[in-house]
Structure 1
Amino acid sequence: MSLLPLNYVEPLYRPPSEAGSLILQATLGCSWNRCGFCEMYRSKQFRPRPESELFAEIEAITKLDSLPRKLFLADGDAMVLSSRRLLSILHKVQTELPKVGRVSAYAMPRNITNKSDRELRDLRQAGLRLLYVGIESGDNEVLQRIDKGETAASTIEALCRTRAAGIKLSVMIINGLGGASLSERHALHSAEALNAIQPEYLSTLALMLPEGEQRFREGFDSDFQLLERGALLSELEQFVSHCELKNTIFRSDHASNYLALKGILGRDKQRLLTEIRTAIDTPEHAPLREMWQRGL
């Protein structure tokens, strides 16, 4: 139970880097909620929360002894809200919580596409500084099979416009998402997409299906094969080797990953590749996590 004066509707999710942020549920659930690998918001029916509820919660926060410096707009895609509604929320935060220096949110490319360049700049000016975007893959066949509702081109266009507006990006790729048959194209095309976007932050996690594989497999042929540790590491090596990123902070330290990696692409690219290759060739000399440590 939260000790904050906020009426959270669980389950509640936020990125690991938002651990110290105030979480404000601008929407409940996910407006798309069809991705084959994702179970996060299956128990929720999507709806925007009334502005009056949000404003009352923001005003209640002002009475706390310690005021937040960062704020995360939940749930799955607050950016689906109109620019008018988002700006109203952001202006309320600026007025009532002046110590907040950064507002962030999850976003889907389609909801960025629905906003003009001017609207994106206005949102940035009003305090929206960072968007977390699950690209998942840069390969169109993989995206189609998982029912992402995006293409590589639509994702690249939306995210390049986001960066041009001055909003930073933290993007995610899912290692193993295409299975064995689509592994190579998933790695190569994902790297190509990232090279076009040049995000500030990049993370990878390994495919996890804690609720079972049946629904996920519906989008694939019957011969879909999950990648084991060696194949996951080989795919990751191929992905990193084809990334030509200038100054992207890279993390592959999610609980799902066998091998924890941290660095800056491209400054640390060769070191990261060496660590991956060592884990492949001599796993006994690498700090690999066992399956139970990955929560599987």
Structure 2
Amino acid sequence: MYHYPINYDEPLFRPPSEARSLIIQVTLGCSWNKCSFCEMYTSKRFKARKEEDIFNDIDAFIPYQDSVRKVFLADGDPLVLSTERLLRILAKVKATFPNLQRISTYASPSNLARKSSEELKELYEAGLTLLYVGIESGDSKVLECIQKGETFETTIEGLNKSKAVGMNSSVMIINGVGGKLLTKQHAINSAKVLNETQPKYASTLVLTAHKGMAHFQDRYKGEFIELNQFELFKEMHLFMHHLDLEETIFRSDHACNSLVLKGVLGRDKDKMMSQIELAISHPELANLRMKCNSGY
């Protein structure tokens, strides 16, 4: 029987693109853990793991060190830790895996903004080159309603500060998270945030209430009326229309997305706009898939 070298403190999450990465838990849970839509770490109390335990997990993979190409630092937003501590962890990872190609982690804009440019540059030079950032929305009112702890301004500040030192970002917007009342400003301002930051990667998910819509509405700070499928497509069309990206790799292909969109923005913007328009006007021809309730 196969024995995995380490035991994770579950639940454990990672981005879809980190499926083949070695996951090392640097922190447990999420340092914020207040977002109305998110149930990922609600069963955990946030804490930083002991450095000795982290290093032991890394050492457990020494027998497989030549095959490790990517490492993902979990759980939610390890960048809340001091730069000195993170640098020691990054140094240990790089020293242990000689064929390492990249190190990545989840990050919040505010915690990026709290680091100085010099600190972020140190982290980048130590191997942290890719950040997964859940923007959720570029609209400050929507962000307030979902208790994200961010604003339009803080999101741009954090992303551009990390980009300036060389870090790439993979950002995510939630289609429908502002409901019917805020759908227009959510779409337009989310596009504006992406235009101001020009991330390497961008994706969208559809709002999924894992514990039911009533539970989400109780946590939402305001009135929330869920969008239907047609309205979700209309919001996506407005969002796409206002995007002005140069070479961002765009994906809307998670299991919760009924309409799969893939391409490079802006090269493929017209093609994706046409796909959305077809889904709006002739959904029976748009090769839609059933919406599901998978997590991310």
What's the TM-score, normalizing by structure 2?
A: 0.96
Alignment check: 8 A CA contact 1:257 1:294 kept: no
Q: Secondary structure at the match of 2:231?
A: helix
Where does structure 2 lack aligned partners over 5 or more consecutive residues?
none
Where does structure 1 lack aligned partners over 5 or more consecutive residues?
none
- Length, aligned pairs only: 294
Amino acid at match of 1:35: C
Mapped to 2, the partners of 1:98 and 1:118 lie a distance apart of 26
**Which residue in 2 is equivalent to 1:29?**
29
The change in CA–CA distance for 1:36 and 1:65 in structure 2 (over 3 A counts) is closer
**Which residue in 1 is equivalent to 2:100?**
100
Mapped to 1, the partners of 2:94 and 2:41 lie a distance apart of 29
Alignment check: 8 A CA contact 2:74 2:105 kept: yes
Counting only pairs closer than 5 Å after superposition, residues 66-77 of structure 1 correspond to structure 2 as 67-77=67-77
**Which residue in 1 is equivalent to 2:78?**
78
Deviation, structure 1 residue 2: 8.2
1:69-108 deviation line (CA, Å, top 9, x unaligned): 0000000111111110110000011111121110000001
The change in CA–CA distance for 1:248 and 1:48 in structure 2 (over 3 A counts) is same
Alignment check: 8 A CA contact 2:202 2:248 kept: yes
The change in CA–CA distance for 1:194 and 1:273 in structure 2 (over 3 A counts) is same
**Which residue in 2 is equivalent to 1:253?**
253
1:4-54 deviation line (CA, Å, top 9, x unaligned): 311200000000000010000000000100000000000001001100011
Alignment check: 8 A CA contact 2:208 2:293 kept: no
**Which residue in 1 is equivalent to 2:55?**
55
Deviation, structure 1 residue 226: 0.5
Deviation, structure 1 residue 166: 0.3
The change in CA–CA distance for 1:69 and 1:137 in structure 2 (over 3 A counts) is same
Deviation, structure 1 residue 3: 3.5
What's the TM-score, normalizing by structure 1?
A: 0.96
2:222 is the counterpart of 1:221: yes
1:139-159 deviation line (CA, Å, top 9, x unaligned): 011000001001110110110
**Which residue in 2 is equivalent to 1:200?**
200
Alignment check: 8 A CA contact 1:258 1:294 kept: no
Deviation, structure 1 residue 66: 5.1
Q: Secondary structure at the match of 2:118?
A: helix
**Which residue in 2 is equivalent to 1:135?**
135
Alignment check: 8 A CA contact 2:129 2:167 kept: yes
Deviation, structure 1 residue 268: 0.2
Q: Secondary structure at the match of 2:63?
A: coil
Mapped to 2, the partners of 1:149 and 1:114 lie a distance apart of 14
Amino acid at match of 1:169: S
Mapped to 2, the partners of 1:197 and 1:146 lie a distance apart of 22
Mapped to 1, the partners of 2:294 and 2:47 lie a distance apart of 31
**Which residue in 2 is equivalent to 1:11?**
11
1:174-199 deviation line (CA, Å, top 9, x unaligned): 00000001000000000011100000
The change in CA–CA distance for 1:65 and 1:188 in structure 2 (over 3 A counts) is closer
Mapped to 1, the partners of 2:138 and 2:2 lie a distance apart of 38
Mapped to 2, the partners of 1:158 and 1:2 lie a distance apart of 42
The change in CA–CA distance for 1:247 and 1:63 in structure 2 (over 3 A counts) is same
2:158 is the counterpart of 1:146: no
Deviation, structure 1 residue 295: 4.8
Deviation, structure 1 residue 64: 2.6
Alignment check: 8 A CA contact 1:22 1:71 kept: yes
